[in-house]
Amino acid sequence: MKTTRRSFIQKTALLSGVFSLGFDWFESKANSGIMQQMNPALDANRFNAFLSIENTGKIILYSPNPEIGQGIKTAFPIVVAEELDVDWKQVEVRQANLDTQLFERQLTGGSGALKHSWERLRKAGATARHMLIQAAAQQWGVDASTCKTSKGFVLGPNKGQKLAYGALVDAASKLSVPTEVTYKSRADYQLIGSFVKGVDNYKVLTGKPQYGLDTQKSGMLIAQIVRPPAFGSTLVSFDAAEVKKMPGIIDVVSFKNKVAVVGKSTWEVMQARKKLVCTYSDTSNLESDSTHQKWFDEGMKTDKAKVERKDGDFNAAIVKAAKVIEATYECPFLSHTPMEPMNFFADVRPGSVLLAGPTQVPQSAQKAVATLLGVPENTVQVELTKMGGGFGRRLNNDYALEAAELSSIIKMPVKVMWTREDDMTGGIYRPAVRYHFKAGLNEKGEMIAFYLRGVGLNAGNSTRQDNFPVGAIDNVLIESFNYNSAITTGPWRAPITNFLASAEQSFLDEVAVAAGKDPIQMRLDWLQKVKTNPVGKITYEPDRFIEVIKQVAEKAKWGKKGANVHQGFSVYFSHLSYVAQIAEAKMVDGEPKVTHVTAVTDCGEVINRSGAENQVIGGIIDGYGHAMFSKLSFDKGVPQQKNFDTYKLIRGNEIPTVEAHFVNNGIAPTGLGEPALPPTGGAVANALFAATKKRLYRQPFAGPDNANL
């Protein structure tokens, strides 16, 4: 098999004058080496390797993972280009479409892309470089070890020996692929860790089509879908007679509790759908905010909570405590509100399905659509578009499935487009959660007992039971209880920890005050204990925690900024990265104002300084904005906020300044799209407490009711 494939590849490479390398993941299970890939140069859309070098000298790097604004389309090629040793200005970066044979984990979620692909990307670049050196050495009749590379050229040991990669491609493609290659040493990095601008900037700045909503295909129709107004409503019947009389309307069809209005243009469809008359039947228990409050109250009392972790004996320890601190925290449902609303294109034909649009999980879309339509997966093609944000909303492919189902019914290519109101009222939300914490201190003010119960609405396990400070405390009990709600939820940037961290870091601040300890020193003491004598299983590295804490205290001049600057500390480990933050509040005209946040992040190696700063600063603004302002509430199953006039997102005149520092210790890189968000709510709440002596228990903090529950 391999021989045949190989010779075919080599012929193709010779004919096309293109050399490309990619991981053949299909075969990589048996052979972890790198395979040369077929590259029909005339059909660039079908080509899906990490890199290709044409004999004209053109270098194309392919980024397989979906780009939602996290900067992966720039970060991945940086790693390949570094190891390949080419001039970044020479490189063209292209988004690869879904290809389950060439790429693994072609998704955006969990801040896991660089962690997963770091070695693979380095190997792709380094292997190609190695083979180009071999080809040059053979040509010159010198030992390969005497050759080196520089910015797209191989340099030989003798004067004048210099060949461009493009001139070596044909020879290099005939060589066998090495199984082991050496990587550049960190000191020689030219690109990794530098400030690299986004590869799509020019397109963004000149308004070129690139997002899902910009998709235009031949014969494409536009559809919008009317969904039940309340979670728990069922469509009984509809009358589309008036809709069909409206200009530009092609069809009105119903499937799965929905009615789709299909037309020629967006505005015509928007107008026509207003004429649709739908009859719904409601279940008797449509949920309101008051329902959720009742469930939270019950969930805190039930004896059916699941024990997520138990160290020592919390119940025995808490009765012996000299001091007990308790507090309850709560967050509302949130909409993801990426700026580009949901949309997807589908063209379902006999024997082939073409999908195009914004999804964080294209392979899931492929599988789900294949299952829905009863067709083989390999007949479903997915084109990846750039996305106007994701924040977890596009981990759910409901809108891609709608497009596929609709296209299969009307037998036409169609782009399903959600309005902002559709997105905010019919979507997937961050689950609402309530937490109750209890801490027992001994006479010395040391925490001897720690309790947490999380009660969530469609939240699954709303705790992260193995995370710090667990590991430092002798008696721990962590429980979760989940209610099944009719309101659909899903992962929202830093799932669960986006509020759990805020609540926990606020609570630990209360514990420090009650114990008469400095909140930073208290954590450092605990981490020393974890280092020497951890309690049970831990998932974090105490030394990395300690480093970000020490650095943030120094950078933000903890406790040394004078009486008018009120500081709040927070630190959290998520997605394998460590982020410590100190927020600052000042009293302005008698009102507290959050003015500044200092963050120190350990995400291992920083790949792109610009992208890394963007993720940390953006994550902090996201965490701050939602902690302060945003809330989705419900009345009889109906979301009460439908657009940005009532659902408040943070604006540019409401932001604190932010400093983003990185430990940049050279450890293999870990996630950065999410980890900066979780600590922010706690740092801000603690700074506001320092300024006002009032604790904030309920998000949004700027909301009317913030008493302890």
Partner 1 sequence: MESIELLVNRKKVKVEVDSNTPLLWVLRDHLSLVGTKYGCGIAQCGACTVWIDGEPMRSCVLPVSAVGKSSVTTIEGLHEKAEHPVQVAWDELDVPQCGYCQAGQIMTAAALLKKNPKPSHDEIVSGMSGNICRCGTYHRIHNAVKRASEIASTSNSSKKK
- Site for partner 1, rule CB under 8 A: 68-71, 195, 197-198, 200-209, 211, 213-214, 216, 222, 247, 265-268, 271, 337-341, 386-391, 419-421, 610, 614, 617-622, 625, 643-645, 649-653, 655, 657-658
Question: At its nearest, how many Å lie between partner 1 and the CB of residue 407?
Answer: 19
Question: At its nearest, how many Å lie between partner 1 and the CB of residue 467?
Answer: 25
The DSSP result for 337-362, as a single string, is --SS--EEEEEEETTEEEEEE--S-H
Task: Provide CB contacts within 8 A for 371, sequence distance 6+.
Answer: none
CA torsion angle for 107, 110, 115, 116 (degrees, to 10)? -40
Question: At its nearest, how many Å lie between partner 1 and the CB of residue 198?
Answer: 6
Alpha-carbon gap, residue 377 to 398, rounded angstroms: 18
| Strand, helix or coil for residue 552 | helix
Q: Which is nearer to partner 1, 22 or 71 (CB)?
A: 71
Question: At its nearest, how many Å lie between partner 1 and the CB of residue 533?
Answer: 40
Question: At its nearest, how many Å lie between partner 1 and the CB of residue 60?
Answer: 21
Is there a contact between 432 and 439 (Cβ–Cβ < 8 Å)? Answer: no
Q: Which is nearer to partner 1, 38 or 579 (CB)?
A: 579
Question: At its nearest, how many Å lie between partner 1 and the CB of residue 641?
Answer: 12
Q: Which is nearer to partner 1, 634 or 647 (CB)?
A: 647
Q: Which is nearer to partner 1, 190 or 614 (CB)?
A: 614
Q: Which is nearer to partner 1, 264 or 310 (CB)?
A: 264
| Strand, helix or coil for residue 174 | coil
Closest by CA position to 576, among listed 114, 224, 218 = 114
Question: At its nearest, how many Å lie between partner 1 and the CB of residue 413?
Answer: 15
Alpha-carbon gap, residue 64 to 106, rounded angstroms: 6
Question: At its nearest, how many Å lie between partner 1 and the CB of residue 507?
Answer: 26
Alpha-carbon gap, residue 67 to 394, rounded angstroms: 11
CA distances from 563 to 516, 578, 659 (A): 19, 29, 21
Task: Provide CB contacts within 8 A for 699, sequence distance 6+.
Answer: 330, 331, 332, 499, 502, 626, 627, 631, 681
Question: At its nearest, how many Å lie between partner 1 and the CB of residue 209?
Answer: 5
Buried b (16+ CB within 10 A) or exposed e, 604-617: bbbbbbbbbbbbbb
CA torsion angle for 47, 49, 55, 56 (degrees, to 10)? 70
Question: At its nearest, how many Å lie between partner 1 and the CB of residue 639?
Answer: 15
Alpha-carbon gap, residue 88 to 328, rounded angstroms: 52
Question: What's phi and psi for 135, nearest 5 deg?
Answer: -65, -40
Closest by CA position to 19, among listed 64, 51, 65, 63 = 51
Strands 380-384 and 352-357, sheet pairing: parallel
Closest by CA position to 583, among listed 505, 514, 670 = 505
